[in-house]
Chains A and B, each alone.
Chain A
Amino acid sequence: MLLYGIKNVDIYAVAVSFSLILLIYYDYHQAVLASDLVEGLSISRDAPKIVTELEEFEVHVIAENLSGTDIPYITIRDSVPEYVEVQRKPTASMILPRGEAVGFSYKIRPVLSGSHTLYGLTVRVGGPLGFFVVETELRSPTSFTVLPYSGGVPLRLKSLERLWGLIVPGRSTGGMYDIADLREYSPGDDYRKIVWKALARSGKLYVREDFGEVTMRLLLMLDVNAINWELGTPPNTLASIELRVLRSIVETLAKYGVSVDVAVCCSATTKVVRNATEDVERSLVDIFSYITPYCSCSSPITVFLEAPTYLGRSVEDYSAMLLVVNPVAVASENPARFLELVRTFGRKFKVVIPRFEYENYIDKEDLAKFYSTLASLVERAEGSVEMLEENLTLRPIKRG
């Protein structure tokens, strides 16, 4: 432009180009100053530690300028992990006065349960005009645990009652009928356990809980493999459904006071949680913070043979050993190893197969054959196989 002005003896063009040159120089100067201030920046995130699958929540990013100079223009972009749907752009441009803290927030919705981590922040500082920018990557890991969805799915798994015939409302396994506690009636409770005197006194429905009614100790095992995440589409991958089954079983059994130990294999090591039903929420967080989306158990299925030892118990301490597994995982497992598991746990061994559209991935006839073979194998050792009837799939996510 300057050359054009000079060539054509255009005073206006020369004047404008001079001012632009000055402005660009000013912007460069400010960008250089700002780039020196990046180290004096304190950038943090604020996000809830525990959320539920598909729950929408806000992440706050706060930048504080600890230096004594204003930062003319700063753009912060947060890196959102995969399998987390972004509801609002995780980026904002700000002016950061000295000593001030400025932030922005965006909404995300995780579509897979487990532990998620927000890692890097891209910080771009520059002059006020934006001609010159300096980009820096800052590491600022923030983790949150996504629990599988539980609202809206049948928490009280009827299939479990049929599975071992112990949790039958209104009947005490120990034969004792001494009242241990009274609690408020909740839908699904047996009407025969309603304490009518309590209703007359308080006007509220109470049900009794008897000693001896809950005497079981259960080992709940879950084997998560990489392929489980590939079958189905988020949020309804096979792994997601298995995790929902795990949560549902723990919560259902907790309601009946059953003591449940959990063993989950989703990496090279097995995560064990003793007596998960004692403090359900804490235990669930403990379990699901170990699971990361697309994690895979790299150990053979016989790794669960050691689970009682890891938990400081023996096989004899358990009333039942419940393995949540799917046909694909069992089919890909070495049959000898699976048999070893069946033989070791014997009649206490229960195989739970979550409801899923297996027919979309396996031939129907092959699937029927597989079920029959599996049932005969497990039943030969006096165990049992149960296919859950509960549909734990979620509606597809609607954007907006």
Chain B
Amino acid sequence: MEVVEILIYVATVALTSLLTYVTGVDLISLAAAALTAYYASIGSNMTVISAITVVLVSIVRIATARPVKSRKALMVKLKYLTTMTTVIAIAIPIAYISAGTAIQLQLVDPWPLAILIAASLYVLVYGLISPTTLHLVSVSFWDMLDLEHVEEFLYKSGVIIGALAMLINVATHGVLGLIMMLIYIVTLFATMKMKLLLHRVVVSLIMAVTVAITYIYGYT
């Protein structure tokens, strides 16, 4: 972590804070996001700090929004804050486990598999949350967690990340990747026809396991 990197960070945050105050438009988050990308490109440890800034600014933004004293508004604020925390709490371990598992398998190219495992886990968690949400959504605590939205974007994220992994496979492994992508598409269509949420999870797991086996078979 070099002094110049820290200075860039401080100057950017100070300048955008001033501009945000003058214009009334939140520019800190955007600037911090851009900084994150920059630090990532140069491999700096400031990447994590600027990423945390993005989240922190949002938290402060929500916390300071009017009305400050209304109980109902406070509950809504808590809902968004806890949702954000839940997302982070779910996403980071999943990504970590996925990447860790893929690397431990000692594949030639572990990342498509890591992404795929993450996608499958997202969908799996979504599947586990869904039935709970149906029963507990009326309870104010669960309502506050906004689990309905958490599960929805977990599912969508899983599908999108899965598609990304499949595209990488096609680019890197040719025919084998194409076969896996076809399996993935068929699985998706199959799940869309299913009414029970749990079926989607089962199919997604089958998909993940199939792809993992294909990888191990092809590259170990």
Contact = CB atoms under 8 A, between A and B. Distances in A.
A102 to B, nearest CB: 5
A18 B149 contact: no
A128 B62 contact: yes
A26 B87 contact: yes
A73 B81 CA distance: 13
B40 A4 contact: yes
Nearest to A4: B40
Majority SS of interface residues in chain B?
A: helix
Interface in B104-130: 110-111, 114, 118
Contacts of B54: 20
Given A11-B96, A15-B91, A20-B54, A93 B40 contact: no
Nearest to A75: B24
Interface string B73-92: 10111011001100110111
Q: Which of A1, A18, A30 has the most CB of B within 10 A?
A: A18
B51 interface: yes
A198 interface: no
A72 B150 CA distance: 15
Interface stretch (B8-16, B152-160, B186-194, B210-218): B152-160
Contacts of B61: 73, 93, 128-130
B94 interface: yes
B58 A95 contact: no
Interface residues of B, number: 55
B66 A92 contact: yes
Contacts of B156: 25
Contacts of B66: 92-95, 102, 104
A91 B80 contact: no
A21 B161 CA distance: 10
Given A18-B94, A130-B61, A100 B80 contact: no
Interface stretch (B41-49, B132-140, B196-204): B41-49
23 contacts: A4-B47, A5-B99, A8-B43, A11-B99, A14-B95, A15-B92, A16-B48, A16-B92, A20-B36, A25-B156, A26-B149, A29-B153, A30-B149, A73-B62, A93-B61, A95-B67, A97-B75, A100-B70, A102-B67, A128-B58, A129-B58, A130-B58, A131-B29
Given A19-B87, A89-B24, 4 more contacts: A26-B84, A26-B87, A94-B65, A95-B76
Interface of B: 24, 26, 29-30, 33, 36-37, 40-41, 43, 47-48, 51, 54-55, 58, 61-62, 65-67, 70, 72-73, 75-77, 79-80, 83-84, 87-88, 90-96, 99-100, 103, 110-111, 114, 118, 149-150, 152-154, 156-157, 161
